[in-house]
């Protein structure tokens, strides 16, 4: 049996995109940095956890892109523990209310929203990250590994998005090149491969971002849905 039917994409470019992934550590922040730099957009990560161990994704994206402060919005919620937002908030005595989150007006369009973890990360006892994505109404860019296991993880994620009528702009693979996997995902997942990010040895640096953004489709090209990327 094939996946559920994808939801149609809007005919005109929306306010922005929601960057999510098939897992934690799959390359969402690297992808978000590339999109923000390539499109000269505004970056926003509503939920940040793990600040006891790292500086957080917003400073990381700003360092990688070199863009000024006006391209960055602070997280709506930031927590110290490296846990899912629901668990991290509980430790700090903060009751999350994702229903109150709305898309901010941004000085530099488009808006690039980065999720925390994968689609099924709990925000509260009754709300998952995928529920927030549906409520915000932005089309999704799904970041996935390129190698072994990606077919299962990516198709499961696409099925979950399609069942909730969330439009998917396409997917971005990260790691060693595997054209066969990308072609299979396009065919079975009924979506587009937007780009492949090659493996970066060591920690990504601004020159890596500059090199990749020079090859990345523009915001206008991404929304020319009838032409190949």
Residues known to be catalytic: 45
| Euclidean distance between CA atoms 57 and 79, whole angstroms | 12
The radius of gyration of the chain's CA atoms, rounded to the nearest angstrom, is 17
Spatial contact of 141 and 172, defined as CB atoms under 8 Å apart = yes
Alpha helices in 123-192 (DSSP H): 129-136, 150-163, 179-189
Q: Which of 101, 10, 112, 31 is nearest to 71 (CA)?
A: 112
Q: Which two tokens stand for residue 64?
A: 């990688």
């Amino acid at each position: 049996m094939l996946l559920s039917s994808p939801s149609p994409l809007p005919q005109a470019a929306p306010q922005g995109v929601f960057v999510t992934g098939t897992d934690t550590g799959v390359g969402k922040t690297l992808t978000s940095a590339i999109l923000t730099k390539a499109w000269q957009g505004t970056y926003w990560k509503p939920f940040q956890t793990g600040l006891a161990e790292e500086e957080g994704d917003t400073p990381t994206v700003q360092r990688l892109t070199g863009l000024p402060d006006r391209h960055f919005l602070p997280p709506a919620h930031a927590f110290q523990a490296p846990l899912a937002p629901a668990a991290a908030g509980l430790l700090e005595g903060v009751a999350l209310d994702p229903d109150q989150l709305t898309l901010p007006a941004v000085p530099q369009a488009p808006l690039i929203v980065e999720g925390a973890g994968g689609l099924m990360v709990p925000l509260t006892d009754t709300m998952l990250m995928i529920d927030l994505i549906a409520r915000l109404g932005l089309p999704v860019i799904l970041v996935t590994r390129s190698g072994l296991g990606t077919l299962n993880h990516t198709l499961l994620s696409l099925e979950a998005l399609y069942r909730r009528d969330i439009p998917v702009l396409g997917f971005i693979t990260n790691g060693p090149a595997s054209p066969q996997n990308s072609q299979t995902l396009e065919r079975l997942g009924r979506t587009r491969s937007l780009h492949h990010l090659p493996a970066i040895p060591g920690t990504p640096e601004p020159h890596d971002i500059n090199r990749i953004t020079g090859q990345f489709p523009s915001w206008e090209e991404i929304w020319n849905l009838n032409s190949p990327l």
